[in-house]
Amino acid sequence: MNTSYRAQAYVWIFFGGLSCLPWLAVWGNAYALHGIDATGVVFASAVSAFAFAWLFSFRIVLTPTEVIFRSLFRGRQSIRHEQIKIVRLIFAVRRNRGPFRLVIEPRDGSGVRELDINAKVFSMAAIDAVLALGARVAQADDGGLRQGIFMKKLREWKEGQKT
């Protein structure tokens, strides 16, 4: 049975809200000038459409034989269960990528590229499902990040205070 995960609700609210900010400028300008500027409407529509298309494109699908990740810019990527070496949850600053990543590394010689998933848009249930799959078919390492980077640093700080 296939299990599919999409971007969670708060991500839709946050980025959807940000994408609607140009509409405030359009309506503010319409109120001030007593008319609607067609250029502003086109720009606001394009920004909103792009943001919602970007959000809609995020999907993780777990099938009985493979893991599939889809996004707007990276397209469809997949890795079969027997090709998985380790599933890791990491916090790493990389160019043009979000820092909270779910990385599925392939086995050596499998001929498959690493699957690098932007974890911040998915729910903990999605991340847990991928980590559980990794633990079942290979290895999994959450890096102590299941509750986020802030909680990991807070735990490390508290442990340092005890000694």
**Same domain? 40 vs 74:** no
Could you read off the pLDDT of 40-63 as tens digits, one per residue?
889 889 999 999 999 999 999 999
Give yes or no: residues 86 and 141 share one domain: yes
- Do 7 and 72 share a structural domain? no
Q: How many CB atoms lie within 10 A of CB 142?
A: 18
Q: How confident is the model at residue 150 (pLDDT cuts 50, 70, 90)?
A: low
Domain that holds residue 128: 65-162
Domain co-membership, 49 together with 127: no
Q: What is the pTM of this model?
A: 0.75
152 shares a domain with 106: yes
Q: At 24, which amino acid appears?
A: L
Q: Please check whether residues 73 and 40 belong to one and the same domain.
A: no
Report the C-alpha gap between 161 and 86 in whole angstroms.
33
51/69 same-domain check: no
Number of domains, the chain: 2
Q: What is the pLDDT of residues 79-117, one digit of tens each?
A: 999 999 999 998 877 777 777 889 999 998 878 889 989
SS3 content of the chain, % helix, strand, coil (to 5): 50, 25, 25
Q: pLDDT above 90 covers what percent of the chain?
A: 38
Based on the domain organization, do 77 and 151 belong to the same domain?
yes
Distance CA 106, CA 98 (A): 21
Question: For 5-25, what is each residue's pLDDT tens digit?
Answer: 999 888 888 988 888 888 888
Compute how many other C-beta atoms are within 10 angstroms of the C-beta atom of residue 160. 8
Q: Do residues 78 and 34 share a domain?
A: no
Neighbours of 18 (CB within 10 A): 12
* In a shared domain, residues 79 and 156: yes
Number of H helices, E strands in the chain: 5, 8
- Distances in Å between the Cα of 130 and the Cα atoms of 13, 65, 86, 102, 117 are 24, 13, 11, 9, 11
Domain identity same for 94 and 51: no
Domain boundary among 15, 30, 56: 56
Give the single-character DSSP code of 158.
H
Longest CA–CA separation in the chain, Å: 67
What torsion, rounded to 10 degrees, do the Cα atoms 37, 39, 45, 46 define? -170
